[in-house]
Amino acid sequence: MLKLASVTRRFPASTIAVAHRAGVSIVWGRDYSKIYPSAAKAVEDIPSGSTILFGGFGLCGIPEDLIGAVANRPQINNLTAVSNNAGIDGVGLGKLLNTRQIKRMVSSYVGENKEFARQYLCGELEVELIPQGTLAEKIRAGGAGIPAFYTATGFGTAIQHGGTPIKHTSDGATEIAAAPREVRTFNGRDYVMETSITGDYALIKAWKADELGNLVFKASANNFNAPMATAGKITIVEAEEIVPVGEISPGEIHIPGIHVHRIVKGSTYDKRIEKLTVRSEDESQADLPPAMQKRIKIIRRAAREFKDGMYANLGIGMPMLASNYIEPGTIVHLQSENGILGLGPFPLQSQVDPDLINAGKETVTILPGGSFFSSDTSFAMIRSSRLDLTILGGMEVSQTGDLANWIIPGKMVKGMGGAMDLVSAANTKVVVTMDHNDKSGHPKILEKCTLPLTGVACVNRIITDKCVFDVVPGKGLLLRELATGVSVEDVRSSTGCGFDVATDVAETY
């Protein structure tokens, strides 16, 4: 039975009268309210063993008070937590990892949470890693009453084949492995079947809520909050501001109140920023770290991939910096997986907004004409090839264009994030930027990838500190360009597979 708070008076009599005249049965009235006095009261009946959807992306838009309230009730344990990631050590869901209240994480990204990675690799935590776009769609589908769907994301990878460890033994062996996916072919292309996700509870953060539960999110804090709000059997919302009914214009509402069961007013917010990234008025190349200065040639060359009017997505790190070298007069619309179109430059210190971050958890700005939206909408754009170009990093690329960039089994687990979705878009050009060799001098371009794949035959172009390769379907690699001071023989000696050489190959960057 849903436990509800009681208030003296919540809605004007005229509101109730109008509802009666319209023949609508009244649920809210003088003795019924969705508003709870505290986060502690709102979560007190959550039983152990529940599946909880936690809104947010990184630390942006997380329900801080609700998470804290769960952490303060250690009897709420053995949880399955569904969240894109788990915050950072001791912050966000990191609190619940520290208190050992989570049995299983269902996520796309481990990121920089060392305790998350440690518990997983040591067999103390079950982790089901799912591509970010697939995770968003599984939640959206669950909220829409759709039991399953097909997607090209993950076909040919461990997502399709199964076997990725969900739980390790203490000595590193696999105790629980991910199951393989069903495969079907539509219009000549292969897809994997994914089942939807719903939660016993959804803990959501909103910028503004009215007393009926209509919600508005701020900037990129929309992210996973919107789809998760619809997929919880009981959705509990932590709002920065609660306003009377009618103060939010109907056209401004992101989530209608029909999905919301409980509302609490947030208290003081820490709003930690995971990666505070700012620019100065006189920023120059000298401001970059020395290691990044060595990669400027890759970044500058990657920027030549931009064409006027393009829609593009840039990966974390080196690819994102390519936006600094877009040719003057060239307009490129940058998209971020967490729900932004029209990314601007990094902010000045005075412009920093913790509710405005990119997919790399860095503070950003938005350009005039830009827009914000939810994570499921973002990946709908990606899967449907609305993007012309994606540039991302790689650990390994094969001669046939296979990409590996998300895990080193038993050693390093970052998670695939949105990469699998980005490279599975049929008509989006995929460019990989990376060092030609690893720190030990071993080739990263190989006959066959040795690491688990992100995508199969998905890479169109490779840009390294030595050269540019094109992947020619059915043939392999074609050496297109050389970096200054690099010869064809230099490339041959540092590449782990054969390749053809274009007749007009030359030093171009």
* CA 463 to chain CA centroid, nearest Å: 25
- What's the 3-state SS for 106-129? EECCCCCCHHHHHHHHCCCCEEEE
Residue type, 101: Q
Catalytic residue flag (residue 337): yes
Where b means 16+ CB within 10 Å and e means fewer, 177-194 reads ebeebeeeeeeeeebbeb
Would you state the structure tokens that stand for residue 9, as one six-digit string? Answer: 């008076």
Return the axis-axis angle of helices 132-143 and 375-383, rounded to nearest 10°. 120
The radius of gyration computed from the CA coordinates of the chain, to the nearest angstrom, equals 24
For residue 204, list its beta bridge partners. 237
Please give the biggest Cα pair distance in the chain.
84
CA–CA gap between residue 214 and residue 205 (Å, rounded):
12
Evaluated on CA atoms 369, 370, 371, 376, the torsion sign reads: positive
* CA 382 to chain CA centroid, nearest Å: 12
Write the CB contacts of 32 (distance below 8 Å, at least 6 apart in sequence).
4, 6, 10
CA–CA gap between residue 106 and residue 136 (Å, rounded):
11
| 3-class DSSP assignment, residue 149 | strand
* CA 45 to chain CA centroid, nearest Å: 30
For 125, phi then psi, to 5°, come to -140, 135
CA–CA gap between residue 508 and residue 87 (Å, rounded):
42
Q: Which of 274, 305, 337, 396 is catalytic?
A: 337
Exposed/middle/buried for residue 501 (C-beta within 10 Å: 0-12, 13-18, 19+): middle
Catalytic residue ranges = 337
